[in-house]
Structure 1
Amino acid sequence: MRTVHPVASRPALSAWRFVTVFGVVSLLADFVYEGARSITGPLLASLGATGLVVGTVTGIGEAAALGLRLVSGPLADRTRRFWTWTIAGYALTVITVPLLGVVGTLWAAAALVVAERVGKAVRSPAKDTLLSHAASATGRGRGFAVHEALDQIGAVIGPLTVAGVLAVTGGDYTPALGVLALPGAATLALLVWLRVRVPDPASYEPDTRPAHRAGAGGGRLPAVFWHYCCFVALTMTGFATFGLISYHLVVGGLLPAAMVPLLYAAAMGADALAALASGWCYDRYGGRVLLSLPILSAAVAACAFAGGLGTVAAGVLLWGAAVGVQESTLRAAVADMVGPGRRASAYGVFAAGLGAAAAAGGVLTGWLYDVSAGVLVATVAGIQLLALTLAIVLKVCSAGDANVMARPGRQETRSP
């Protein structure tokens, strides 16, 4: 049975400090697994993998990272052991990554690659639920945005560190992946410290409104949540991947392959800035700011697949901005639609649907690119117009506005 903490209990850390420390945890974890993912393909190839094997292993890994959340989310809700799921997921990731550098067989490396992604599935619904409690006090948009911005710092530092170690060691994967054990250990140490300081982050969210309680203990997810998932899935179906954009850059002779990572790093910077901006706007103006996502997604295709290098570079920055909104404010809105008791389940369903739509979008945009860049741009524009229309007709982007307006700190958000 779950230990029920009194609503009046005061957390040892302020909500903002909790969000910031949790963001540093994600920064360190991204340092680890983004550093490893930047060389997964070459590492597997060095062990004898073919292109088919690399594609299959990474594909299975991504499917596990998203699909298994349909299981881990409801289990986290049922057991209420959110810290346990979070710590276990992070531990699986930070332990498997350094081992990649010492295994000498393809099957073992492939198993570790998939295991790292399973760790993502184990922790994500529980982690987002913990974060949503503290973000209810800071402003959910801003709380998730600050977390995402810190997260992306690690996503940049990790690959750059691995690349530097590979350059110094002449391409030796063992030290390049072994160095990631240091931020991995720091991840777990900081996470355990945070759990000891704030054992029950739900105390940040003492919402006892009847409507909130109705969705807190069980039952079905609200209809508006499913409408929201349809809107997001439709938007992602018409969203080009960076892999396709980088392919266009290199095949089209617009940029040398060695320069693509620098453009990607710039996109990650745009990601962080857009997350902060959209999060602030969400807390101030409500879910209507998410109507900008279909517009951004259409602009990505229009810029990235038309014109010269400058136009494509602008498309890449817009792509990064759209990802920033997807990774922060979209998640914040889920917490305003679903009560605490079903929130981890909602995050599991949301992530799985998002991943399936992103996969479908990658296939669709890749096929359309082979047909014609013009057809790709026109089709994406049509899909995003349909998504925008759906959101307006079903009012999915205003569903959580009542919670936004009622949150503590709303008045401060509106003050000059």
Structure 2
Amino acid sequence: MTDTAPPADTTPDQEKWLSPGVKGIGSASFLADVGHEIPTALLPSLLTSTLGAPAAALGAIEGISDALAGAARFGGGVLADDPARRRKVAVGGYAATAVLGAATAGATAVWQVGLLRAAAWTARGLRVPARNALLADLVPAKAYGRAYGFERMMDNLGAIFGPLLALGLVAWVGVQWAIGLSVIPGLLAAGAIVYTIRKTLGPVRPTRPACPEGRRRGRTSGGRPAPEVTSRKVIGLSQGMKGARQCHHPHGVRPACDLDRQKDLAPASFRPTVASGIQ
């Protein structure tokens, strides 16, 4: 019996997919869901009991907010394509969702609740693609399923714990204070994203554009790329020098130089190029 060697493409980094960064994003999903599930669970009571709105107002507010959240995910996907921008969108989205959601506690009219709810759900939609892109940056391709499964599990746990916490807060401090206190887990979620970015991802390194294929450039004595010289550039230089001579002639415009004179103006190494380019 012979022992089978492990696959060559298996590395320790691929085995350890549950890194601190993945745990940080999972914690952010849990805390964020706890934070916005509290206002969601108490929104009917706020609208009907506190503000005296009909039940139809709740349906209209929730429908518009969900539609905006779906549309914002498309825009968030465009923003998440930029590595530096996706980090800002993720942090800002989590923080804005927490603040706007908790701000509904101070609303005194139904339209204010609708406006704040719609803005909070728009920020929530913007942050989702950025968070998913950050998670993809943290794990190898073979561990995407496990990493995203862990993040979804933490999100669902927050959706369970949030309403239970809302019931306890209502019995303790009332509806409006319970909604206002939901900002705490929301901001903790934004802090978890900041921790993940700073401790695991590091700064974004700008990419240098590749040189077009087929272009050959020399090197100077200092190691820097030498400027590319073409016949068109040399011709333009010679014509500019000719124009300068014409402008400074004491008797007005000087006649144009002939071909031999233009070739004499160029350096010796470029004279064949100038002559062939003018012909």
Shorter-normalised TM range: 0.5 to 0.7
| Matches of 2:80 and 2:151, distance apart in 1 | 21
Distance 1:138 1:38, change over 3 A: farther
**78-87 or 110-119: which moved more?**
78-87
Shift of 1:136: 2.6
One-letter amino acid of the counterpart of residue 55, structure 1: G
Verify: 1:121 aligned to 2:154, yes or no. Answer: no
**Gapped regions of structure 1 (runs ≥ 5):** 1-9, 204-416
C-alpha distance after superposition, 1:367-401 (max 9, x if no partner): xxxxxxxxxxxxxxxxxxxxxxxxxxxxxxxxxxx
Shift of 1:63: 0.4
| Matches of 1:146 and 1:26, distance apart in 2 | 10
Distance 1:157 1:138, change over 3 A: farther
C-alpha distance after superposition, 1:200-226 (max 9, x if no partner): 5999xxxxxxxxxxxxxxxxxxxxxxx
Question: Residue in 1 aligned with 2:188?
Answer: 186
**159-168 or 194-203: which moved more?**
194-203
Aligned ranges for residues 43-62 of structure 1 at < 5 Å? 43-45=46-48, 46-62=50-66
Question: Residue in 1 aligned with 2:116?
Answer: 112
Which one has the bigger helix percentage? 1
Shift of 1:96: 1.2
| Matches of 2:182 and 2:154, distance apart in 1 | 18
8 Å CA contact 1:35–1:155 kept in 2: the answer is: no
Distance 1:182 1:75, change over 3 A: closer
| Matches of 2:19 and 2:141, distance apart in 1 | 8
Task: Identify which of 69, 74, 80 aligns with 2:73.
Answer: 69
8 Å CA contact 1:133–1:202 kept in 2: the answer is: no
Question: Residue in 1 aligned with 2:275?
Answer: none
Shift of 1:190: 2.1
Question: Residue in 1 aligned with 2:90?
Answer: 86
- CA radius of gyration, larger in: 2
8 Å CA contact 2:17–2:139 kept in 1: the answer is: no
C-alpha distance after superposition, 1:323-363 (max 9, x if no partner): xxxxxxxxxxxxxxxxxxxxxxxxxxxxxxxxxxxxxxxxx
| Matches of 1:24 and 1:91, distance apart in 2 | 15
Question: Residue in 2 aligned with 1:98?
Answer: 102
| Matches of 1:136 and 1:49, distance apart in 2 | 50
| Matches of 1:174 and 1:127, distance apart in 2 | 30
Shift of 1:76: 2.6
Shift of 1:129: 1.1
One-letter amino acid of the counterpart of residue 57, structure 2: V
One-letter amino acid of the counterpart of residue 187, structure 1: A
Aligned ranges for residues 175-214 of structure 1 at < 5 Å? 175-199=177-201
Aligned ranges for residues 135-284 of structure 1 at < 5 Å? 135-136=139-140, 139-169=143-173, 172-199=174-201
Shift of 1:133: 2.5
Question: Residue in 1 aligned with 2:236?
Answer: none
8 Å CA contact 2:42–2:179 kept in 1: the answer is: no
Verify: 1:42 aligned to 2:45, yes or no. Answer: yes
Question: Residue in 2 aligned with 1:26?
Answer: 29
**Gapped regions of structure 2 (runs ≥ 5):** 1-12, 206-279
| Matches of 2:33 and 2:83, distance apart in 1 | 27
One-letter amino acid of the counterpart of residue 70, structure 2: L
| Matches of 1:194 and 1:127, distance apart in 2 | 11
Shift of 1:103: 2.1
| Matches of 1:201 and 1:20, distance apart in 2 | 19
C-alpha distance after superposition, 1:283-339 (max 9, x if no partner): xxxxxxxxxxxxxxxxxxxxxxxxxxxxxxxxxxxxxxxxxxxxxxxxxxxxxxxxx
Name the SS of the counterpart of 1:19 in structure 2. helix
Question: Residue in 2 aligned with 1:219?
Answer: none
Percent of residue pairs bearing the same amino acid type: 27
8 Å CA contact 2:65–2:122 kept in 1: the answer is: yes
The alignment covers a number of residue pairs equal to 190
